[in-house]
Amino acid sequence: MAEFAAGERGIRLGQLLKLLNLVETGGAARELLASGEVRVNGAIETRRGRQLQPGDTVEAGAERITLT
């Protein structure tokens, strides 16, 4: 499991997916989310703009990232 320092203000899910090179564009992030392959704290998430906070866990495919 990887960790990502989100900072006090957190980060949006679409931005995180791009920063971690799980997708190349916002459109690709939208497609990945629409496929139901992304989970936040164990629940399927389809909103690219979902605000993530330290302590959240994101799963996309084989990747699992915890925000710190």
Please state the domain extents for the chain: 2-67
**H/E element holding 64?**
strand 63-67
**Bridge partners of 44?**
39
pLDDT for 8: 86
Per the CATH hierarchy, to which homologous superfamily does domain 2-67 belong?
RNA-binding S4 domain (3.10.290.10)
pLDDT for 7: 87
User: From the CB of residue 58, how many other CB atoms can be counted at a distance below 10 Å?
Assistant: 24
pLDDT for 18: 95
pTM over 0.85, yes/no? yes
Average pLDDT, the chain: 95
Instruction: Decide if pLDDT at 1 tops 90.
Output: no
pLDDT for 58: 97
The pLDDT tens digits for 17-37 are 999 999 999 999 999 999 999
Give the angle subtended at the CA of 20 by the CAs of 37 and 68, to the nearest 5°.
Answer: 95
Within 13 Å and on the Cβ side, how many CA atoms surround 17?
30
Residue 66 DSSP symbol = E
